[in-house]
Amino acid sequence: MGISNIIFLVVFLVAITFFIRNLNRIIANIKLGRDIDRSDRSTDRWKNMFRVAVGQSKMTRRPVAGILHIILYLGFVIINIEVIEIIVDGVFGSHRFLSAILPFGLYNFLIGSFEILAILVLVACVIFLIRRNVVRIKRFRSKEMTSWPRTDANLILIFEILLMSAFLIMNATDALLFTSGASHYVTSFSNPISQYFQFMFMGMDTATLVAIERFTWWFHIIGVLGFMNYVLISKHLHIFFAFPSTYFANLNPLGQFSNLQSVTNEVKLMMDPNADPYAAPVADAAPPEQFGAKDATDLNWVQLLNAYSCTECGRCTDSCPANQTGKLLSPRKILMDTRDRITELADNKRKGKEDIKSLLGDYITAEELWACTSCNACTDACPIELDPLSIIMDMRRYLVMEQSAAPTELNMMFSNVENNGAPWQFPASDRLNWKNE
């Protein structure tokens, strides 16, 4: 084992350790949410995950972005097989160890497909960069897309472009070294794409070629390890969380909103003619549960998982009738705010810092919440079935049931329903008048 293998092992272990630590933190943050039972219908859940996350079935509703995304997704999944080889080579000092254990044809096929995918990914990333920065597609530039979210998106794309370039240059120089008979470079492989990059390195001496090959090799693996860690502080977390989010997604009809159990208990008690109105509360009874959500911890863990899974594509906001007519509401912002708030809240808790903020008020305003028409365009548009609408509804519940802070007209509507059983002020006795009009 040479010095470079030891360095590799250290870098690798440090990256993995950081990754696991930070991933565990995010999981702990998600567990700060209230409980919700999504353990039912496991067959349907697996099917949903395979169709929507693995199969990308909702992505192609917008064909350009959808097809480019599928290229990136396939590229990401398949090219990462190469990372296995890099890790083994890095630890044991071998060169392209897969070529030794796989049949020659299969290895060639693999490397050949990696190269084709790599160039496709590279092109897709360039198109994505153009869409974001030159074509300036509207949904990438709305209000909540402040400097960090925009930088984040661009960084990821540039990262991918650099990684793919490194991979192709590595192959190009490796093949040149093989042809020139340099020691250690003893594997021939199919290079359908990188052969066209070789001209840049023609005529270089062996030492330079080796230096470039090694540099791109290190760049590729450190890049991958760095990217893995970067993902945890980025919107890009969907590459992991899209799977659990679709598994735990709401499988009921979109129009079916949850019935709050805590309210059911109270209403049943109120309607029970045998209930003792003077009964003293049980001494050790738990304090009554707060209705609705004021802060991120009042949301359930699926909603928090959703918040971390959002990749800020903006399809929800782009289809939101309130947003598209200039209202303050943006479903994407609801998810981004939820994610930022639960992260902040958990960090403060971990550091023992005082925290006086809350999701409602400091992040999301009542005006945003009251702009929603509950039309489900956002939940339907989301490629991984995230549910910003349920967060909006839970926060409305807090505003109404804990703070009595509904808009005046809605308070009037409530009292009409309470008094005469209709949202308008008509006497219940007139309900059948239409029959004789």
Residues that bind other proteins (CB under 8 A): 252-257, 259-260, 263-264, 266-268, 270-271, 291-292, 319, 321-322, 324-329, 367, 370-377, 380, 393, 395-401, 406-407, 409-410, 412-414, 417-418, 421-424, 426, 428-437
Cβ closer to other proteins: 15 or 377?
377
Q: Which contacts (CB < 8 Å, 24+ apart) does range 210-214 have? A: 210/173, 210/177, 210/182, 212/169, 212/173, 213/170, 213/173, 213/174, 213/177, 213/185
Number of alpha carbons in the 13 Å side-chain half-sphere of residue 206: 9
Helix intervals (H) in 93-183: 97-101, 104-133, 147-179
Cβ closer to other proteins: 173 or 323?
323
User: Helix, strand, or coil here: 26?
Assistant: helix
CB of 5 to other proteins, least distance (A): 55
Cβ closer to other proteins: 243 or 257?
257
CB of 416 to other proteins, least distance (A): 8
CB of 19 to other proteins, least distance (A): 38
Q: Which of 18-43 are b and which e, b meaning 16 or more Cβ less than 10 Å from the residue's Cβ?
A: eeeeebeebeebbebbbeeebeeeee
CB of 288 to other proteins, least distance (A): 12
> Measured on CA atoms in the order 59, 63, 65, 69, is the torsion positive or negative?
positive
CB of 253 to other proteins, least distance (A): 5
CB of 413 to other proteins, least distance (A): 4
Cβ closer to other proteins: 147 or 325?
325
Cβ closer to other proteins: 162 or 260?
260
CB of 207 to other proteins, least distance (A): 60
Q: Which amino acid is at 283?
A: A
Instruction: Please check whether residue 254 is in contact with residue 91, taking contact to mean a CB–CB distance below 8 angstroms.
Output: no
Cβ closer to other proteins: 32 or 375?
375
CB of 334 to other proteins, least distance (A): 14
CB of 47 to other proteins, least distance (A): 17
CB of 386 to other proteins, least distance (A): 15
Cβ closer to other proteins: 32 or 393?
393
CB of 329 to other proteins, least distance (A): 8
Cβ closer to other proteins: 21 or 288?
288
Number of alpha carbons in the 13 Å side-chain half-sphere of residue 128: 25
Q: What φ, ψ does residue 364 adopt, rounded to 5°?
A: -110, 130
Cβ closer to other proteins: 244 or 292?
292
Cβ closer to other proteins: 247 or 398?
398
Gap between the Cα atoms of 260 and 289, Å rounded: 11
Cβ closer to other proteins: 286 or 432?
432
